[in-house]
Amino acid sequence: MKIIDGKATAAEIKSEIAKEVAEMIDIGKDVPHLAAILIGDDPASQTYVSGKEKSCKKVGFISSLYKFPADISEKELLKVVDFINKDDEVNGLIVQLPLPDHINVNKIIESIDPSKDVDGFHPLNVGKMVLNLPAYLPATPYGILQLFERYNIETVGKNCVILGRSNIVGTPISILMSRKAYPGNCTVTVCHSKTKNLEKICRTADILIAAIGSPEFVTADMVKKDAVVIDVGIHRVKSKETKSGYKLLGDVKFDEVSKKCSYITPVPGGVGPMTIVSLLKNTLKAAKKEVYK
């Protein structure tokens, strides 16, 4: 069994991006600029946004944060998005989710200029992804694709089972794994809360991608020998084993599944670090006008 080291891969990609930014500066080009909108004071959202800002700084990007209280109106937020859309110095714009209930999330996402939508959530980018046209791919699925590539994992003709059908992970990764491309060319099955015989379906997987949001859901008896297992889940659970009193678990029971599979992503240090790196890659593409010319 081989551990897919997302932390090391992310560090490697970050240094490649930093090198490219230094080259852009050398030839007098503007450095990539990512703007983030953060609404309210949800601690998890604050942590994610500050992680994104730190990563931008690390690779030499400019980052700017637009912070507003939770009671900002939808109309005001739309004005802010419009203002950033029109700012030529900003290449990428993300709106940290979730948003307060009084704001229509789809309306906000659709108001982002698709050429700046580096989260890849705008329907135009989703459509382009489905049609295999140049698009910003959503960060977590894009991170998973890069792990397949960097570890030279064969995907053609494989049975790929995906647990979960969310808009940010399960659905886009199911589309990407079935595309006529590498990574891709898989025969994909998507499982969700209404799936019958889920365990049996999991056992058919050459590649199993768990994005179900349930700690240690996938056990060894659900995994075929030598399968590739990608664990997207992140759960902070109480633990007596750590100083902090907490530890992170994935959607896969790592100790037993890792003994049976050929490759596995650990939690933490697997898919997680690849998500931010993918956002950086999309922002670099935006600055270089690689997706929207």
Interface residues for ligand NAP in 114-173 (CB under 6 A)? 140, 163-166, 168-170
Residue keyed to tokens 């100083």: 243
Containing 80, the helix (H) or strand (E) segment is: helix 74-85
212 is a contact residue toward ligand NAP (CB under 6 A): yes
Q: How far is CA 137 from CA 9, 18, 59, 97, 214, in A?
A: 18, 21, 20, 17, 25
252 is a contact residue toward ligand NAP (CB under 6 A): no
Choosing from 193, 197, 225, 244, the residue that interacts with ligand NAP (CB under 6 A) is 193
Asked whether 247 and 239 are in contact (CB, 8 A), the reply is yes
Retrieve residue 26's tokens. 């050398």
Choosing from 174, 189, 275, 278, the residue that interacts with ligand NAP (CB under 6 A) is 275
Q: Is 113 a catalytic residue?
A: no
Closest distance of CB 215 from ligand NAP, Å:
8
Only one of the segments 30-38, 90-98, 191-199, 254-262 lies at the binding site for ligand NAP (rule: CB under 6 A); that segment is: 191-199
Query: Judged by CB, which is closer to ligand NAP: 115, or 278?
Result: 278
213 is a contact residue toward ligand NAP (CB under 6 A): yes
Residues comprising the chain, all counted: 293
232 is a contact residue toward ligand NAP (CB under 6 A): yes
Closest distance of CB 265 from ligand NAP, Å:
9
52 is a contact residue toward ligand NAP (CB under 6 A): no
Retrieve residue 84's tokens. 């950033």
Name which of 136, 90, 172 is nearest 282 in CA terms. Answer: 136
Q: Is 86 a catalytic residue?
A: no
As a whole number of angstroms, the distance between CA 213 and CA 165 comes to 11
As a whole number of angstroms, the distance between CA 187 and CA 221 comes to 22
Choosing from 92, 141, 172, 272, the residue that interacts with ligand NAP (CB under 6 A) is 272
Residues with catalytic function: 52, 96, 119
